[in-house]
Structure 1
Amino acid sequence: MTEWSGPLMRSVSLRWPDRLPRLQRERVAKPPDYRAVIVSYAMTMVSICLLVLLVNLTLIAPIQHFTAQHRLYGELRRELAEGSVPIGQTDVSGHLIRPGSPVALLSIPALGIREVVVEGTSSGETMKGVGHRRDTPLPGQPGVSVLMGRAAAYGGVFKHLHDLAPGSRFTVQTGQGIAEYRVLGARSASTRLPVLASGQGRLTLMTASGGAFRPNGVLRVDAELVSKAFPRPAAVLAPGAIRPAEQALRGDTSPAFALSWLVELLVLLAVAATWAWKRWLRAATWIVFGPVLAVVALLVAGDVCTFLPNLM
């Protein structure tokens, strides 16, 4: 038997593998799991909404509060000059004061506060500024007036309220003039103050206690009226005759219907943006859908914030 050797054998051994057919595996396309895709998109949208809500509370809300205060201060100055600022629970036409209307200017030098007070204490009102509880007299009048402010979000006007020392003085300007108060101190809900005598006035400042954005109670700081009390018009609202949303640490669910439409619009825009992302130019998709989605998402976050406690 002849043995192959030499260059010929080496040539054959080198070329032999090149002559073998190459096998290729055919990839079988698996049907897409639409349930997993839908869940993935839903979780992505929820994550984006939570991120937008966080951005709204920490970055956008202070700007909204500053803008609202600037507008309200101009409106209050004009009404003070005209003498049309409400001095009771009703306006000059005899109707209840519209919630969100400016009624006073609160100045607390010890805390660096100069804030327009609005009528009403629901979340929508305390987003704009310190709110006056509607079933209590206006500051400067006989009786116990109540002002509520936020501790963290939307400017956090009362975030340092616990630092207000007893004996400190501050003023509240209304349509009747400037009322001066002296701080008595902080107290809990279980502490009862003496009943006021005829003609005496007291002001209670309220905000959330606990960590920032984690309220666990209500902080109350009382101050007695040291200036002469202004006349008090006849009351229309009886004590306690306010909506539950105007109580301390309550949210307001009244925008729920509008919020549902905004959420539906946001979902439709997200679906349209996803479709365009897969079938259109990605740069064009960003340009067209990016600003619209951002605006609608911020509107949704703003309405969701009204569900949060009004003193947070």
Structure 2
Amino acid sequence: MSQGTTGNLLPKGAAALGRLSPRKLAALMASAPAARVAVRDARWWLGAVWLAVSALLLAMVAHIVLVGALQHSRTQAVAYNDLRSSLANAVTPVGQLDFEGNLVALGTPVALISIPSLGLQEVVRQGTTGEILRGGPGHSVDSVMPGQAGTSILLGRQSSYGGPFGALQKLAPGAEISIVTGQGTSTYAVFGMRRGGDPLPDPLGKGEGRLQLVTADGPALLPTGVLYVDAQLTSTVMATPSAVMLASALLASQKPMAMNPDAWPGVFFSLQWLVATCLLVLWLRRRWGGWQTWIVGVPLVLALAVATADAFASALPNLL
């Protein structure tokens, strides 16, 4: 075989490689595969992160706009039926203790609040943890029930889970608030609105009643503080049972803007499953093809993203 024929059999570019020194040629051959692997791995992980973040952001928006509102509506419907039944049977709690002498269980429906000027009507349940406030306003367990002598404190979310207290800043002085409890119907008139650092209202006189509505202040989901709306009782003061729990005994998880640290393990657990599923989807895409993978993988990724968003929402402050 002639030299010219042999030259034609050489791979394209071999002549250029032949002009390199042995040391440079060895370095090039050693580095090229590693570079290809590094680029492929970087794209692989970037794709997985992009898919997980996109699914999580979409799930967060869907959770705030739709899923949380549906959860709130469902909880309200059940609580309304429970409250109506307890009122009919005269067993609705009217103090910190129930009719058996035990502390009223958290989540128990205790009142129905109506604010005509805002078009608001919500069942109020006992307790103010983030979990309870998912379903509507909550009554602070250390305060008196609405309609009684003293200050009754109700907390509600500003924007998530239906945002029942999201329009409190629109209340004008004199706006009427009506609340139904196990003792009857009480009415209040708004007289003030304040934020952190503002002067507190004058102390209550003997036998007077007051209502304090509490929610987050500032842009939705980006609170700058806490908003307080004060209202004076204008109807007859109801009988007031003796208190067995003071404000000093209130758990940190039930205070305004309290967060739930116990929810973070669930967030990380759900997030791990979401990332692992995104990696699996990308791997299957290379084995199955695009359409088959998306048909199977997209619903699974979205379901895990919604679960992660729900767990994340549980860890956020209780007034958001």
Give the TM-score, by structure 2 length.
Answer: 0.82
SS for the counterpart of 2:203 is coil
Counterpart mapping for 1:245-264 below 5 A: 245-264=253-272
Worse-matched range after superposition: 241-250 or 256-265 = 256-265
Q: Which residue of structure 2 lines up, in the alignment, with residue 98 of structure 1? A: 105
SS for the counterpart of 2:285 is helix
1:114 Cα offset (Å): 0.5
Residue type matched to 1:146 in 2? I
Q: 2:241 aligns with which of 210, 233, 241?
A: 233
Q: Does 1:304 align with 2:312?
A: yes
Q: 1:132 aligns with which of 139, 164, 182?
A: 139
Greater share of helix? 2
1:278-310 alpha-carbon deviations (Å, 9 max, x no partner): 223544433433333322221211121122222
CA distance in 2, matches of 1:304, 1:117: 24
SS for the counterpart of 1:194 is coil
Q: Which residue of structure 2 lines up, in the alignment, with residue 186 of structure 1? A: 193
Residue type matched to 1:261 in 2? F
Q: Which residue of structure 2 lines up, in the alignment, with residue 166 of structure 1? A: 173
In the superposition, relative to structure 1, how do residues 39 and 97 fare at CA in structure 2: closer, same or farther (>3 Å)?
Answer: farther
Give me the identity figure in percent.
35
Q: Which residue of structure 2 lines up, in the alignment, with residue 59 of structure 1? A: 66
Q: Does 1:32 align with 2:37?
A: yes
SS for the counterpart of 1:254 is helix
1:115-152 alpha-carbon deviations (Å, 9 max, x no partner): 11122222222221011111111111111111112222
Counterpart mapping for 1:82-231 below 5 A: 82-189=89-196, 190-231=198-239
Residue type matched to 2:114 in 1? S
Counterpart mapping for 1:289-300 below 5 A: 289-300=297-308
1:22 Cα offset (Å): 9.7
CA distance in 2, matches of 1:299, 1:91: 35
Kept in 1: contact 2:177–2:189 (CA 8 A): yes
Higher CA-based Rg: 1
CA distance in 1, matches of 2:46, 2:66: 30
Q: 2:276 aligns with which of 268, 282, 285?
A: 268
In the superposition, relative to structure 1, how do residues 54 and 111 fare at CA in structure 2: closer, same or farther (>3 Å)?
Answer: same
Kept in 1: contact 2:52–2:274 (CA 8 A): no
CA RMSD of superposed structures (Å): 2.6
1:81-118 alpha-carbon deviations (Å, 9 max, x no partner): 22222222233343333322221100010111011112
Residue type matched to 1:32 in 2? V
Residue type matched to 2:217 in 1? S
In the superposition, relative to structure 1, how do residues 261 and 236 fare at CA in structure 2: closer, same or farther (>3 Å)?
Answer: farther
Worse-matched range after superposition: 210-219 or 132-141 = 210-219
Q: Does 1:41 align with 2:48?
A: yes
CA distance in 2, matches of 1:81, 1:300: 40
Q: Which residue of structure 2 lines up, in the alignment, with residue 8 of structure 1? A: none
CA distance in 1, matches of 2:109, 2:178: 16
In the superposition, relative to structure 1, how do residues 196 and 283 fare at CA in structure 2: closer, same or farther (>3 Å)?
Answer: same
CA distance in 1, matches of 2:281, 2:92: 48
Give the gaps of 5 or more residues in structure 1.
Answer: 1-19
CA distance in 2, matches of 1:137, 1:36: 60
Worse-matched range after superposition: 286-295 or 127-136 = 286-295
CA distance in 2, matches of 1:298, 1:96: 35
CA distance in 1, matches of 2:315, 2:12: 57
Q: Which residue of structure 2 lines up, in the alignment, with residue 10 of structure 1? A: none
Kept in 2: contact 1:102–1:118 (CA 8 A): yes
Kept in 2: contact 1:253–1:306 (CA 8 A): no
SS for the counterpart of 2:315 is coil
CA distance in 2, matches of 1:282, 1:265: 22
1:7-62 alpha-carbon deviations (Å, 9 max, x no partner): xxxxxxxxxxxxx9698648976542235533542344234323321331133222
1:202 Cα offset (Å): 0.4
SS for the counterpart of 1:255 is helix
SS for the counterpart of 1:52 is helix
1:262 Cα offset (Å): 2.5
How many positions carry a matched residue from both structures?
A: 293
CA distance in 2, matches of 1:160, 1:63: 19
Give the gaps of 5 or more residues in structure 2.
Answer: 1-6, 15-31
CA distance in 1, matches of 2:134, 2:302: 21
In the superposition, relative to structure 1, how do residues 118 and 24 fare at CA in structure 2: closer, same or farther (>3 Å)?
Answer: farther
Kept in 1: contact 2:49–2:275 (CA 8 A): no
Residue type matched to 2:56 in 1? C
